[in-house]
Structure 1
């Protein structure tokens, strides 16, 4: 059992739980091997072509897309080193490609570099202002006609379930309990808890529905007529849509925008 699983887990104490989740994340960021591939000041299309990359997956220690650059704020750590925001691209465990980036600042990526960008359950962890600034950077680094696929918890789903008792809370709770077996106690079944945990338990900073996502995307420069709500694992680029994780599909809004 991991160190994180041995820490206290109290659903009703977000600050204590944050420390537990941080330890769990550190466990996930431990890898067997980091192989330096490329040092850079600014990644550009030439670097992507050199590495065989077509797009970027944010919030991914190990992307499952064979032509993606995975990136996260958290450093990957192996016995012989760490990524530590070194402007270095690594091969992780002989498979995926990774570099460490912070979405709250300018991305060290040239204009018109990536054919697509994917981010699952990331934007809700930063403020609205930071989220729009990051989306502006995403628009900049996408090639003309490039695709952004963005997923985040849908505030409307939570609100409607709390008011209407439509069964979503029970379904989501059972799914989370299965995922956290051996790590966390069962989530409380109270409706108010299920609603509040969306805001306070996971370090969320701003919640979205379709209207709020459209506002953020258009403010960042995406055209409204290029924004489309999608279903789980359905999208303009099937290989990118396949990155959606099943654990989150009951609570998630999936939205795509064309650069």
Structure 2
């Protein structure tokens, strides 16, 4: 008997149907047992954030695993009775801190107010100009020498997978096998053109990066030219930040860091 699928409505051939399945998945991730609004004024300054125990911000995270992180996402968290609102910070299930932020807007923190910024599979979901503005805002709120770590699907891996003859241990085969083992829908089609197309047209992606495109984006955002460096999964200049990398889709991901 085939294992029960995590997403029974998943249809690899239909981007619109897949978008609906992903919305349902996100809705489940955004549910929590308790939300408690943090009292006091909005913490703009480094000192105010430190008073909450916050040294850095993880974007696109309902629940950050960093002990001194502030998680944030465009979508709200919710219980059965309460939903988060922008402009407030909440403690989630008695643990991590969360606030709603739109990365298309200026970040509501002072210059140099945090030591690190982390975003996993975020910038591919917005147009390039929005990503560059967010990167510039991340640079602004980082203290001198502070760390930005970004992960995103790697276009080079997909192009190389397309150009290579598909073999048992090739990138496309490994990627399909990983998702199948995680019960993410039915098996992916094995067509090379499908494998390349889905990285552009599924998941709400708006711009796909390789290392050179990431260098361009961070340079346009005001980081020092040539300062971007490629890293490996859960390896980097700050282990506590690199440890935020998740295993899901790490086979297709490029990991980069740059310092303010």
**What is the SS of the residue equivalent to 1:134?**
helix
- How many matched pairs? 253
TM-score (norm 2): 0.93
Query: 2:177 matched to 1:174?
Result: yes
* Native 8 Å contact 2:43 2:49 kept in 1: no
Unmatched segments (≥5 aa) in structure 1: none
Distance 1:242 1:137 in 2: 23
2:141 matched residue in structure 1: 141
How far does the alpha carbon of each residue in 1:152-208 deviate from its partner, in whole angstroms, 9 at most, with x for none?
Answer: 011000000100136000101111112235xx2221121111111100111100000
Unmatched segments (≥5 aa) in structure 2: none
2:95 matched residue in structure 1: 95
1:1-259 matches, cutoff 5 A? 8-41=9-42, 43-85=44-86, 87-165=87-165, 167-181=170-184, 184-259=185-260
**What is the SS of the residue equivalent to 1:175?**
helix
Deviating above 3 A after TM superposition, structure 1's stretches of 4 or more consecutive aligned residues are 4-7, 38-42
More strand by share: 1
How far does the alpha carbon of each residue in 1:55-91 deviate from its partner, in whole angstroms, 9 at most, with x for none?
Answer: 1100000111111000000100012311132x11111
**What is the SS of the residue equivalent to 1:133?**
helix
Distance 1:197 1:35, change over 3 A: same
Q: Which shows bigger deviation, 160-169 or 206-215?
A: 160-169
TM-score (norm 1): 0.93
**What is the SS of the residue equivalent to 2:251?**
coil
Root-mean-square deviation (CA, aligned residues, Å) is 1.6
